[in-house]
Structure 1
Amino acid sequence: MSADEDPRRRLAVALHYDHAGAPRVTAKGRGVLAARILELAAEHGVPVEEDAALAEALSQIELDREIPIELYEAVAAVLRFILMARGR
């Protein structure tokens, strides 16, 4: 198993976007916490986009803070993915 496949190193970051301002980081964690974030996403039908570099960048943002302008384009791509996954 490579380091990237090691569940203890897995990283997950959750965003919330309510169309007011920029998306906010609402949860983040590694290992067991990352697994729980992904589990909750699956339970609630939230699409998951895997992008290790973006997740790492987003993990540096404090909880409940808007994403910085430097990440707008990358996060917009994720939002497009989610909208397409939901058929919109």
Structure 2
Amino acid sequence: MPEQTPDRDSRRHAVALSYREGNTAPRVVAKGYGELAERIIEAAKQHDIFIHDSPELVSLLMQVRLDEQIPETLYQVVAELLAWVIDIDQRK
């Protein structure tokens, strides 16, 4: 029986966002499937960057091109997530 390769939808996905004060919105700075996704996640862990596991949000963010800002439709959910992360960081 031939070895089956997982299709794109069944592999792990990862998207990295960057937001700097003064920017209009966060930007997608890295994204990938499978091994690339694992490397993105590992790099985040090594730099003590918060990792949020939300398949639905990642699926939407995977549609954004690299170095583009997230669409306005995602502003609210990403803003709430960033505010939560900032709050956690300040409590450390």
TM-score range, shorter chain: 0.7 to 0.9
Structure 2 counterpart of 1:17? 19
Structure 1 spans left out of the alignment, 5+ residues: 1-7
Give the share of equivalent positions with the same residue, in percent. Answer: 43
Q: Is residue 42 of structure 2 the alignment partner of residue 34 of structure 1?
A: no
TM-score by length of 1: 0.86
Asked whether 1:85 is paired with 2:88, we answer: yes
Alpha-carbon distance between aligned partners in 1 of 2:33 and 2:11, rounded to the nearest angstrom = 6
User: Which runs of at least 4 in structure 1 moved beyond 4 Å after TM superposition?
Assistant: none
Aligned residues, how many? Answer: 81
Larger radius of gyration: 2
Residue 65 of structure 1: how far off its partner (Å)? 0.2
Give the letter for the 2:70 counterpart. I
Structure 2 spans left out of the alignment, 5+ residues: 1-9
User: RMSD of the TM alignment (CA)?
Assistant: 1.3
